[in-house]
Amino acid sequence: MAKYIYPKIPPSAIEAAPIELAPQSRSRREALAALAAGAGAACLAPHSIAQPTSLRAPSSTSSPTPPRFRRNTAMSVSEAPNSWEEITTYNNFYEFGLDKGDPSERSGSFKPTPWSVEIAGEAAKPGRYTLEDILRPHALEERIYRFRCVEAWSRVVPWLGIPLRDVLARFEPNSRAKYVEFTTLLDPKQFPGQRSRVIDWPYVEGLRIDEAMHPLTLLTVGLHGRWLPNQSGAPLRLIVPWKYGFKSIKSIVKIRFTERQPATSWNKAAPDEYGFFANVNPAVDHPRWSQAKERRLGGGLFGARVDTLPFNGYANEVASLYRGLDLRRFY
Ligand code: MTE
């Protein structure tokens, strides 16, 4: 497999997140509910919801047999993982609704197979690839990662996936590929939440190419030894363990290599609250709450409050990616 050497991007080349909106006193959920109802939608560009146009279903389906994988203990934390129940019944997946229980309760009829992913932009091998094409050459790994939501809750999850860089390298990104953009399926028939203007659908996220090519970044297809359930982002999601959970986009249908920093959903919706980088940082508070501590789910009704670690505990592995970057400004 061709080894991809990613371009080094100087901090000066990175676009600043515009800081415009005044901090709001409402919770994120309340603010979203208001947006969905049309109130306060001034910060969202008006848009119409399009029907899905690009997805062409491949003829084969994903195997119903359990995934085969090897445990990567060297890339895993030693903390005890949360249970399947804890990981799959308290979710953020606004395409199914705003409540934490909506994704598990409302995603039953979602069809994650057949599935394909469009590869686009600055690469030698763009095209549409079935999920099977994408997974076939790779061995699945289990990695136990910490997961920290920007809302100050956290958990520990045994994910199953493939290092994203191994997959991306197959499409041969060129030297103009400085960022990678990811897009979730747009399909209001399957995603009831996309019928309301919560954010500018479809959900879009992005990484700098060196972040995408970092060995910790995982293209994820399962958890707890099973294929991803719908509420967790079936069949294919991103996991970037040193970043707030909103970077971990679910149900991906498009990956695009770009020269310019992609416009990402939460950054567009509330740029003063959600930066492009979104590195977990206890020293930089969200405008409406502290990020110094987090509630570890599973430890009783409210969960144990524990200190949040810089880069979610992965500083040794990733801090060097941001040398010279002002993390207060590029939050
Ligand atoms: N991806 C999509 N497409 N839609 C979403 O609403 N929510 C994000 C992220 N990925 C979201 C998404 C947020 S805010 C978080 S915290 C995580 O998914 C939650 O992942 P989990 O439900 O598996 O814990």
Q: pLDDT band for position 303 (50/70/90)? A: confident
Backbone angles phi, psi at 106, to 5 degrees: -115, 5
pLDDT given for residue 295 in this prediction: 96
Residue 99 pLDDT level (bands cut at 50, 70, 90): very high
Answer yes or no: is pLDDT of 2 > 90.
Answer: no
Nearest residue by C-alpha to atom 22 in ligand 1: 91
- List b or e across 66-97, with b for residues whose CB sees 16 or more CB atoms inside 10 angstroms: ebebeebeebbbeeebbebeebbebbbbbbbb
Confidence band for 3, pLDDT divided at 50, 70 and 90: very low
Q: Strands, DSSP E only, in the chain?
A: 69-71, 116-121, 127-130, 140-148, 153-163, 179-184, 204-208, 218-223, 226-227, 237-239, 252-258, 293-296, 304-307
Q: Is residue 115 lining ligand 1, measured as CB closer than 6 Å?
A: no
In the structure, what pLDDT confidence band is assigned to residue 65 with cuts at 50, 70 and 90? Answer: confident
184 pocket-lining for ligand 1 (C-beta < 6 Å)? yes
Arithmetic mean of pLDDT, 315-323: 98
Rg (CA), the chain: 19
Question: Picking from 3-7, 27-31, 247-251, 299-303, which range would have the lowest pLDDT averaged per residue?
Answer: 3-7
Nearest-angstrom CA–CA distance, 118 and 137: 18
Q: How far apart are CA 179 and CA 156, in angstroms?
A: 28
User: In the sheet that 127-130 helps form, which strands lie side by side, from edge to edge?
Assistant: 127-130, 116-121, 252-258, 179-184, 204-208
Q: Is the pLDDT of residue 176 over 80?
A: yes
Token pair of 194, please?
């996309």
Please say whether the beta carbons of 200 and 265 come within 8 A: yes
**Taking Cα atoms as reference points, which of 256, 73, 277 lies closest to residue 171?**
256
Task: Name which residue leads in pLDDT, 72 or 46.
Answer: 72
Nearest protein CA to atom 11 of ligand 1, as residue: 93
Q: Please state the pTM of the whole predicted model.
A: 0.84
245 lines ligand 1 (CB under 6 A): yes
- The alpha carbon of 238 and the centre of ligand 1 are apart by a number of angstroms equal to 10
Average pLDDT of every residue of the chain: 85
Determine whether the shortest distance from the Cβ of 92 to ligand 1 is under 6 A.
yes
Q: What percent of the chain lies above the pLDDT cut of 70?
A: 80
- Ligand 1 centroid, distance to 66 Cα (angstroms): 24
CB atoms within 10 A of CB 157: 21
Distance 158 CA to ligand 1 centre (A): 16
Type of residue numbered 175 = S
pLDDT of residue 23: 28
DSSP-assigned letters across all residues of 136-203: TTS-EEEEEEEEE-TTSEEEEEEEEEEEHHHHHHTT-B-TT--EEEEEE---TTT-GGGGS-SSSSSP
pLDDT of residue 289: 96
Q: What is the pLDDT of residue 5?
A: 46
How open is the CA angle 294-297-301, to the nearest 5 degrees?
105
pLDDT in the model for residue 14: 40
3 CA to middle of ligand 1, Å? 31
Given a cut of 50, whether residue 258 has pLDDT beyond it is: yes
Question: Please, are residues 146 and 79 in contact by the beta-carbon 8 Å criterion?
Answer: yes
Q: What are φ and ψ of residue 219, in 5° steps?
A: -85, 120
User: Which tops the pLDDT comparison, 81 or 27?
Assistant: 81
CA 251 to ligand 1: nearest atom = 3
Give me the domains of the chain, ranges plus CATH numbers: 11-322 (3.90.420.10)
93 lines ligand 1 (CB under 6 A): yes
Question: 309 pLDDT exceeds 60?
Answer: yes
- Inform me whether the pLDDT recorded for 201 exceeds 60: yes
Token pair in block for residue 225? 């030894």
Indicate which residue's Cα is closest to atom 24 of ligand 1: 91
Among 15, 13, 30, CA closest to 264? 15
Q: Is the pLDDT of residue 319 over 70?
A: yes
Least confident among 61-65, 198-202, 208-212: 61-65
pLDDT above 90: percentage of residues in the chain: 78
